[in-house]
Chains A and B, each alone.
Chain A
């Protein structure tokens, strides 16, 4: 009669990045992802603790803010601040990186679909920027195309997100990092970058203009700012 929902952890599903380990799990009956930021032994203990906590907080805040302005991000199911564990909704679908590469086979439609993807992505980035949130690590690996539908784009990994005092420079750098990431991972995809910028400008003209102006300057000098004067 009664259904018992329980939580399961699948130990074979480990994926590890530089920052955290990811496991597939089931949380109270729903498919989920467990993200654990492990402590790094080579760092000073206190520094390690603070960095881990700061990034966990940044991630939580980033997801919160993004969802508040209607940008899709995985829902958070559980937080353990002591051990830096986050359990999040599992968004099914390929990463944008895999999705773009899989699109290559269909040469004819490719352009149209990818341009649409770019515009959606640009719009989402503009929305979070408008709310004063910088993602900090925009790459095509940090996005999931839910169920392969380019209109249903989820942003993930807000660990380096930054909010609060945000100027056009920061937004420009965010876009620049994405632009470089796309150039580095995908061949012949300049049209996607163009579509992203178009999508970005279409959300808010004023922000778009200011950021584009910065972006041109950033392209000339790179991500880091010259420290002169």
Chain B
């Protein structure tokens, strides 16, 4: 994996509080061959990272918003899941069912594209270690728009209104995933 392919973003669990800062490093992998092996390693705890089905992510900002929500929940001791990585995947989902969320948005047995994220990896060493275990090609994050699958996204978020198109679906998705605890 060449440096510069992955990207590091700064997160702030509390929008007011500049003293609490965290970072997340994101990298996109394509042509992944060992998805089911990776799933096993996630389950045993050998990999501590969030591996997400890249087809379901329409733009990086959505992913960051979910990541920030996860650190916010963590900072306030209100996580719904046991690890920060799982919390991130859960935050992406519009559903409040944890196992459903992990199954839909987490890496699947036959996944070929994966969006990998590790927390607090400013220097990139954790991502390098992770990349060694993924049999695939790391590509710049800009490729995401070619990978994301509108149809699948529609189904995952249950968005069927015909007036919602590729241009405004991100707003709807954001609101749905960020506010799922507040409605109903």
Contacts and interface: CB of A to CB of B under 8 A. Distances in A.
A214 B69 CA distance: 44
A5 B10 contact: yes
A2 B8 contact: yes
Interface residues of A, number: 37
B9 A30 contact: no
B68 A28 contact: yes
A75 B172 contact: yes
**Chain B interface size range:** 35 or more
A95 to B, nearest CB: 19
A80 to B, nearest CB: 7
B123 to A, nearest CB: 11
A5 B68 CA distance: 11
B65 to A, nearest CB: 6
A25 to B, nearest CB: 7
A138 B68 CA distance: 33
Given A68-B161, A69-B161, A80 B72 contact: yes
Contacts of B23: 4
B171 A67 contact: yes
B10 A6 contact: yes
B135 interface: no
A82 B183 contact: no
Interface stretch (B40-48, B110-118, B147-155, B173-181): B173-181
A100 B179 CA distance: 33
Contacts of B97: none
A79 interface: yes
Given A5-B10, A70-B163, A27 B172 contact: no
Interface in A58-109: 60-61, 63-64, 67-70, 72, 74-82, 85, 87, 89
Contacts of A63: 175, 179
B8 A76 contact: no
A16 interface: no
A1 B176 contact: no
A76 B10 contact: no
Nearest to A63: B175
B170 A75 contact: yes
Contacts of B176: 64
A89 B15 contact: no
A34 interface: yes
B7 interface: yes
B164 interface: yes
A79 to B, nearest CB: 6
Nearest to A87: B15
A161 B110 CA distance: 44
B178 A78 contact: yes
B164 A77 contact: no
B68 A78 contact: yes
A190 B7 CA distance: 55
Contact of B174 (A3, A29, A61, A77): A77
A120 B60 CA distance: 32
A9 interface: yes
A4, A34, A77: residue with the most chain B Cβ atoms closer than 10 Å: A77
B107 to A, nearest CB: 24
A49 interface: no
A7 interface: yes
Interface of B: 3-4, 6-12, 14-16, 23, 61, 64-65, 68-69, 72, 76, 159, 161-164, 168, 170-172, 174-176, 178-179, 181-183
14 contacts: A2-B4, A4-B23, A5-B9, A7-B12, A57-B183, A64-B183, A67-B164, A67-B175, A70-B161, A70-B162, A75-B174, A76-B179, A77-B65, A82-B76
10 closest A-B pairs (Cβ-Cβ)?
Answer: A70-B163, A75-B171, A6-B10, A1-B4, A4-B10, A75-B174, A2-B8, A7-B12, A76-B175, A28-B64
